[in-house]
Structures are given as structure tokens and as C-alpha cells.
Amino acid sequence: MAQIESQIDVLNEDFRRMNSDGVNTPGAFLPVAADSQIEFYLACIDPNDNPTNGVVRVQGEGEYTVEMDGDQVNETLTGIKVGINGSQAWPTNRYLNIWVANLADDVLGYAQFPDQYASKPNTDGVVINTTSFGTTGLVDAPFDQGRTATHEIGHWLNLLHIWGDELCGDDLVGDTPFQEWSSTGCPNHPRASCESDDMFMNYMDYTDDACMNMFTQGQRNRMRAVLSPGGIRHSFVS
């Protein structure tokens, strides 16, 4: 439970730009660094209107393998595919489902994008490897600061990778510089690739948890569009 709560704390720090390592955001990027004004709480009422701590525990079996199309893991975990050791999503129009499991092949996490919601409501949410979830308990460095869930929920709210998943690709966000490809480890700033100054400390890159510290205003607006009237996740706004 402490590990779970540590993850919720990180989400609220990161999405509200209350993260203590926000001081590491390079000065050049401070004008676009954003508080998304989105917050997260463990559910306190379950789908049957009973009190809950928001946590469902299921005995799993071994490691969960992520297929290349990425959908298999949700289907297994939700019980749709295998039907023995998953856990069905709570109604995805009002709960953000976070499946935490032992994922094979060093996969850190996986998310379903909002545009898949209509056709696949039962697998909507994010999946996080146990060892990259939260900041305490079973976490493993360098993915031990809860940033995998920050990144995956960014996808769940329609954010793309900062390099646009192709060479100098477009993430459809204006204030994130074009970047050649994903970054790993903890690069030194400044570093340039396609454009001027790579924003490898953005949560939507692949750097180590301790080296990511920002979303931008453009990312904030893209996430909030999904929650706005007419947006796919508007049902989350009360």
C-alpha cells in the first residue's frame, strides 16, 4: 500500500509541477514548463457504490509478456484474454485503471490511447511493471521514481513520445523541440539533434526517472483537450 501511495504522490507532484526536481529544468525551458492542473486520487467508492481503498489484489502467475501490438498484456491482465488471473477494469468512463504486474522483458509500462477507448473500453488504462511503480517497496533503479506512470498516463491523455516515434518526428505539440530519437540514461544539457535544444528531461522521453522533470504548456493543453467538453475523457470532469 505504501508503494501504491508513493506512486499517487508522484503523479500529483509531476502533473501539478510540484516535483522537487523541477529545479533541474533548464532555464531555457522554464517559460514552457507547465502545471497541467490535473490531479489523481485512489478511488474511495467502488463500482457498486461501496467504500474501497481503490486497490484490487489478484494472485497472478509468473511474468506477463507484452506482444508487439501491445494490447495482449491489458487483455491478459483484465482477464479478457486468459480469464483466470486478470482483473476486470472498473468502468473506464470514470476510473483510470492502473494494472501493476510483473512484466517480462524489462518492459516498464504500457498505455492505451484515448482514440482506442470507443472500440476497447475494457482495456482502457495503463499497465506498469511492479519494479517501476512508485518510489518505495519493490522498485528498481533507475526507474524507481514513479516516472513510468507519469509517462504512461501522459499517453492515456493523448501525449505522444517527444521524438514522434520517427526520426525527428512530430509529437503534435508546438513547444517541444523536434528531437532525432529517444534518449536514454541521463544526458547533459544542452544537447541538440534535429532542431535547437533537445528536451530530453521531458516525461515523454525515455531518460532515467531521476533525469525527467517536466511537461510543457503545449502538452498540458493537449492533455486537457481530452478532458474538455467534446473530449473523449470529458466524463472524468465533474
206 binds ligand ARG (CB under 6 A): yes
Those residues whose C-beta lies under 8 Å from the C-beta of residue 189, and which sit 6 or more positions away, are 26, 197, 200, 201
209 binds ligand ARG (CB under 6 A): yes
**Closest separation between CB of residue 152 and ligand ARG, Å?**
6
125 binds ligand ARG (CB under 6 A): no
173 binds Ca ion (CB under 5 A): yes
19, three cell numbers? 516535483
**Closest separation between CB of residue 237 and ligand ARG, Å?**
25
Q: Binding pattern to ligand ARG, positions 137-156, x when CB under 6 A?
A: ------x---xx--xx----
**Closest separation between CB of residue 218 and Ca ion, Å?**
7
Per-residue CA distances from 136 to 30, 91, 133, 140, 146 (Å) = 29, 28, 8, 9, 9
Per-residue CA distances from 89 to 94, 125, 151, 208 (Å) = 11, 8, 20, 29
Q: What is d(CA 174, CA 214) in angstroms, rounded to the nearest whole number?
A: 15
Residue of 5, 13, 67, 152 marked catalytic: 152
180 is catalytic: no
Instruction: Among 171, 198, 205, 209, indicate the residue that binds Ca ion (CB under 5 A).
Output: 171
Residue 173 interacting partner from Ca ion, ligand ARG, none (CB closer than 5 to 8 Å by kind): Ca ion
CA angle, 134 then 54 then 12, to 5°: 45
